[in-house]
Structure 1
Amino acid sequence: MFDCKDEVWALTKQLVRIESIVNEGGEKVLSQSLFTLISSYPYFQQQLDHVIYQQTENDEQERYNVIAFVKGTKNPSNKTVLLIGHIDTVGIDDFTLKELALDPDALALALRQEELPEAVKVHLESGEFEFGRGVLDMKSGVASHLYLLKYYSEHPDELEGNLMVVFECDEEVGSHGMISALTELKRLREMHGFNYVAAINGDFVSPRYIGDPKRYIYTGTVGKLLPSFFITGSETHVGSCFEGIDPNFIAAHLTRQISYNHELCNEAFGETTVPPVSLRQMDLKPAYTVQTALSAYVYFNFFIHSWSPKEVQDRLIVEAETAFTNALTEFKQNYAEYTKASGEPMNAITWQPRVMTYEEMHISLQNEHGEDYIIHMDAFKEQLLLQTDVDTRMFSARVVEEAWKWMPDKNPAIIMFYPSLYSPRTEVTGKNDNEKTLLDAIKLAVDTVQPNYPHPIVTKNFFPYISDMSFISLSDDVAGISVVATNNPGWKTKLYVDYEAIRDINVPVINIGPYGYDAHKQYERMERSFSLNIVPNLTNQVIQQLIGSK
C-alpha cells in the first residue's frame, strides 16, 4: 500500500487554489499549470511527446485538455489503462465565505466561527474532512491520478503495459473536453499501437441515503437525456378564456404526468434510476399582454440504465397523449361548470389530443413546403447562432417555434424533441474479455485494500451522476441512439456529437473516486482517509492487475 495521503492532499490544494470554474477562463490556466507540472517530471523531460496539450474542438471557449502517458518497460505490451478526470468546477457564488472558497486551510479555520448545520459541524470538528470548491468534485480525484502518473513515470519497470491520464475540461456543462479527447486517443492509438483495455474515472462518490456507511466503486454510469416539449394552445383574450386554451394549462398537465412518475424509473441489474423531474417550465410569450400565450416550453431530466433514447421517446409520447387528454377533459368540465353558473351557452370543443415528434413535424413540413421551408429554416438558424446568449436548449425551442409557423394546421399540439447533449449510459457486465478482467481486478483490489479501511467498499453498476464516463464507452446501438440527432432541432448547427467516435474507442470504464458530501454546494467536503489514501491505492491495485508486474 502507498502511504500517499500527504502528497495527494498537497496536490489537491495546489489544484483547488487555481480557479477553474467552467466557462469562465480558469480552465485554461489550470490546464497550463498541469501541463507545466507534468512536463517537469524527469520522464517527460526525456519523452517530450508523451505529454500533450490539446485544445478542445468545436468549442466557443478557448480551453485545453492535458494528456500524458508512461510506457511500461517490464515486458512491454500495447495494453493501456486510462485514468480520466475533469479539471473544471461549478461556481462559488453560493459560498458565504466566497473569498476563501479556493483556500481549504483558511476556509476550515473561518468555518469554525460560522453557524453551521449540525452534520457539517461534526465533520469539520472531526478533522477528517477538508472543505472548499473542488476538493471533492473532483480535484482530489485528479490529484490521485497525478500521483500515480508521477509514480509510474519514476517506475516504468513496474508496468507491463502503458498508463495514460486524460485531464479534461468542461465536464460540468458540455463535455467538450472528453469529446475532443477522443480524437487524440484515436491518434495516439494509431501512432503507438495502444490497446485501451480499461478506463478509471476519479469522480466523487457520496452516500446514497442518510446514514449510508458504504463507499462505492461504480462499474458503469447512468445515462442522461433532456426530453423537451413545445406546446401550442389557442390564443384568446383572458376575458373570453374558454374561446381558446392556454398552453401553460396543457404544460401543467404534462409536468404532472411526467415529474416524479415512478413508472418512468428505469431498472437494470437490480438498480433503479430516480424518476424524471422538470428542470424548466415556461411560456414563450415575449412580454405582458392580456392574451394567453401562443406556446409553452417544458423540459425534464431523465436518467436511464438500460432504455435507449428511442425507448424513452416512445414512452413519453404516450405520457404526453395522456396529459393532453386529461387537459382537454378538465377544460371541458370546467367550461361546462362555468356555463351552468353563468347561463351562457357552451360552444362545441373540437380539439383533439395531438402529439408528434420534431422529426415527424419536420418531415411533414419538408413534404408540404419543399425547398422554401428548408432555405428559410437554415437562414433562421444561422441568424440565431449569432445570439451568443442563447444556449442549446433555448436554441432548439426557438427553431421548433419558427418551424411551427409553417404548419398548415394550427390546432393545439405537443411536439417532443431532444434539445441538448445526450450523455450515454455505460455498463460493464463481463460481456467480453476486457470487461471480465476489469471486474476481476476490482474484486481483488477491494479484497486487498478493505482491511485498511473501516467502512465497507461496495461495487454498484451505475454511477448516479452525469460524468465524462459517458463519452468513452457506448452501450447503445445505432438505431437506439439515432433519435437524439433526428429529433434535435440544433443538430450540426448548435450541437453535434460524433457518437460513433465514442464507439470507436469504447473502452470499459469504472469510477473510483473521492468520498464526501455536498458537491456543488457551499459546504463541499471530502473525507481525507478514503479520498487521499484509499482511492489511489484501489486505483493502483486495479492498474497492477491489468498491466502491472503484480
Structure 2
Amino acid sequence: MLPCREKVLAWTNRLMQIESIVNTEGEKIIARKIFGWLSDLPYYKKHPTHLILQRTTDDNLERYNVFALVKGKKRKSGRTVILMGHTDTVGTDDFNRLKSYACDPEKLMEALQEEPLLDQAKNHLQSGGWLFGRGILDMKSGLASHLFLIQYYAEHPKELAGNLLLLAECDEEDGSHGVLSALDTFQKLKEEHGLAYIAAINADFVAPRFEGDENRYIYKGTIGKLLPSFYITGAETHVGACFEGLDPNLIAAELTKRIDYNPELCNRAFGETTMPPVSLKQTDLKPSYTVQTALASYVYYNFFSYSWSPKEVLEKLKKVAAEAFEAALATFENRKRRFAEMSGECFGKTSWKPRVLLYEEMENILIAEHGSAFTRHMEDFKGWLLRNKELDTRMFAAKAVEEAWKWMADKSPAIIVFYSSLYSPRVELPGKNEKERALLKALDEAVAAVQPHYPHPIVTRNFFPYISDMSFVAISDSAEEIDAMAKNNPAWGTKLCVDYEKIRALNVPVINIGPYGMDAHKKLERMEMHYSLEIVPNLTNEVILNLLV
C-alpha cells in the first residue's frame, strides 16, 4: 500500500480552492493551474512535450483539458493506462448565504457547525473523517487521486512497466466538450509515442445505493443516457368552446403519466436495473397568455439504458406515445359526453385518431412531398437558430420540429418523437475480448489485495449509474444504432455533432474507481477521507500494476 493520504489531501485542497463551475471562467483557470503545477515537476521539465494544455474544439467557451503522459522505465512498452477525471463542478447557488465558503472545506465546515443538520450529516461533520464542499466528492478528490499517481510515477518511472496518461477534462457537467475534444489528442499521442491504450480508469464519485448501504462500489462500464422528446400538436379552439378543439396538454399529461417513474421502462442487464425515466420538462409552446388553447406542447424525459440501443428506445416510446394518445382521446370523448348530458348541449363525435411519427418518418414524408424546397428551408432555418447563442440544444431541436411541422399537409393532432440532446453511450464490459478480460482480472486482483485494509465491503457492479465521460471512451452500440439516434435528432449536424466513430476508434475498456461520499450536487456534499484518500489511490495503483506487467 502506497502511503498517500496526505499527498492526495494536499492535491484535493489545491483543487478545491479554485471555483471551477461548469461554463464559467473557472474551468479555464483550473486547467491552467493543473498544467502549471505539473510543469514544475522535474519529469515535465525534462519532457515538456509529455504535458499538454489543450483547448476544446467546436466550443463557444474558452476552456481546456490537461494531458499528462508518464513513460515508465521499468520496461519499455507501448501499453498505456488512461486515468480520467473532470475538473468542473456544478454551481454553488444552493449554498445560499454560505455560498462564499462553498469551495473552502475548512471555512464551510466551521460555518456548518452553526447550521441545523440531520443526525447523519452532523455526525459526519463532527467526526473528523469527512470533508465537505462543492466538488470535493464530484469529483476533485478523485482527480486528486489521479494527480497523486501521475506525480508518483513521474518521480519513480523505474517502477512503471508501461505508461500512464492523465486526462483532466472540462465540461463533464454539461456538454462533454472536454472529453469529445480529447479524442483527437488521444489519437495524436498514440501515433507520436507509439501508445497502445489497454484500459481507462475514471475517478468519479460513488455513493450508497440505498439507506444503510455500507458497500463501496467499483463500476465496470457505464450507463447510457438519452433524452427522448415529444412535440405534441392539438387542435386549437377558444376556451369558451373547448370541446371544438383538442388541448395538447391533455395528451402531454397522459404521456407523462405513462412514462414518469414507470418500472416497465427500466432496462435490466447483467442482473442490474436502471432507474426509470423521469420528466425533465413539460410545457406548452404558447409565447404568451391568450384564451386560445395551445397549438403544441413539448415534453422530454431522462432515459437511462444498459443494453437498449437508441433505436430500441425510440421503438418502445413510440408505442407508449400511441397508447397515451389513445387514452387521452378516450378521456376527451368521455368528458365531452358527460358534459353534454349535464348541459343538454349536443356535440358531434370527433374524427381524431392517434397519430405518432418519429422525426425521421415526418422528415421523409416532407422530403417526398416538397423535395429540396423543404430541405433548403430547414437548413436556412437552423442556420438562423444557431445565431441565437442563448438557445440550448433541447429548445433548438423543438423549434426545428415546430418549423418542419408547418410543412405538413395533414395538421390533425399528432405526436412527433425525437431526441433533443447529446447521447451518452452505454458501455458494457462483459469480457468479450482480451483487453476486457485483462482489465476485469486486474480489478478482481486489486480488490482482493486492498480489501483487508478497509473495513467496509468493496463491491464491483456492472454499470456506473450516473452520467459520466466514461461514455465517450468506449461504445457498445453499432453504427446502425447510432445512425438511428442521429436521424431522429433535429439538432444533429448543426447545433449538435459528435463523431461517435472516433469513440469507436479509441474503444478502450473503462472502469470507475472513485471517492466515496454523500449528497453530490447538494449543499451537504461530502467525502469520506479514509476510503477516498487512501483506498482509492491504492486500488487504482493495483489495477495499473496488474495491467502493466
After TM superposition, the score normalised by the length of structure 1 is 0.99
Counterpart mapping for 1:207-222 below 5 A: 207-222=208-223
Partner of 1:459: 460
Letter in structure 2 aligned against 1:246: D
Q: CA deviation at 1:16?
A: 0.8
Partner of 2:442: 441
Partner of 1:202: 203
Q: CA deviation at 1:346?
A: 1.8
Partner of 2:233: 232
Q: Secondary structure at the match of 2:94?
A: coil
In 1, Cα distance between the equivalents of 2:423 and 2:491? 13
In 2, Cα distance between the equivalents of 1:380 and 1:476? 31
In 2, Cα distance between the equivalents of 1:379 and 1:481? 25
Partner of 2:391: 390
Letter in structure 2 aligned against 1:395: F
Partner of 1:259: 260
Partner of 2:295: 294
* Deviations 1:103-135, CA, capped at 9 Å, x for gaps: 111111111111112221011111111000111
Question: Are 1:193 and 2:209 an aligned pair?
Answer: no
Greater CA drift, 372-381 or 530-539: 372-381
* Deviations 1:365-398, CA, capped at 9 Å, x for gaps: 1111112111211111111111111100000000
Q: CA deviation at 1:507?
A: 0.1
In 1, Cα distance between the equivalents of 2:124 and 2:134? 16
Unaligned runs of 5+ in 2: none
* Deviations 1:137-193, CA, capped at 9 Å, x for gaps: 000011000000000001111111111100000000000000110110011111111
In 2, Cα distance between the equivalents of 1:465 and 1:290? 42
Q: CA deviation at 1:409?
A: 0.4
In 1, Cα distance between the equivalents of 2:156 and 2:548? 13
Q: Secondary structure at the match of 1:95?
A: helix
Partner of 2:52: 52
Letter in structure 1 aligned against 2:113: R
Question: Are 1:37 and 2:37 an aligned pair?
Answer: yes
Q: CA deviation at 1:74?
A: 1.5
Counterpart mapping for 1:114-263 below 5 A: 114-263=115-264
CA RMSD of aligned residues (A): 0.7
In 2, Cα distance between the equivalents of 1:234 and 1:71? 66
Q: CA deviation at 1:335?
A: 0.6
In 1, Cα distance between the equivalents of 2:79 and 2:327? 57
In 2, Cα distance between the equivalents of 1:111 and 1:6? 24
* Deviations 1:63-100, CA, capped at 9 Å, x for gaps: 00000111111221111000000000000000031110
Q: Secondary structure at the match of 1:130?
A: strand
Q: CA deviation at 1:262?
A: 1.0
In percent, how many aligned pairs have the same letter?
Answer: 59
Q: CA deviation at 1:336?
A: 0.6
In 2, Cα distance between the equivalents of 1:113 and 1:343? 65
In 2, Cα distance between the equivalents of 1:102 and 1:365? 52
In 1, Cα distance between the equivalents of 2:211 and 2:107? 29
* Deviations 1:478-509, CA, capped at 9 Å, x for gaps: 11221221011011110001000000000000
Question: Are 1:92 and 2:92 an aligned pair?
Answer: yes
Give every structure 1 segment of 4 or more consecutive aligned residues whose post-TM-superposition deviation is greater than 3 Å. none
Unaligned runs of 5+ in 1: none
Partner of 1:7: 7
Q: CA deviation at 1:340?
A: 1.0
In 2, Cα distance between the equivalents of 1:70 and 1:384? 45
Q: CA deviation at 1:542?
A: 0.3
* Deviations 1:228-268, CA, capped at 9 Å, x for gaps: 00000000000000000000001000101111111110000
Partner of 1:353: 354
* Deviations 1:413-457, CA, capped at 9 Å, x for gaps: 000000100000001111111111111111111111111110000
In 2, Cα distance between the equivalents of 1:427 and 1:377? 37
In 1, Cα distance between the equivalents of 2:421 and 2:15? 30
Letter in structure 1 aligned against 2:511: I
Q: Secondary structure at the match of 1:414?
A: strand
Greater CA drift, 139-148 or 362-371: 362-371
Partner of 1:329: 330
Q: Secondary structure at the match of 1:376?
A: helix
Q: CA deviation at 1:363?
A: 1.2
Partner of 2:376: 375
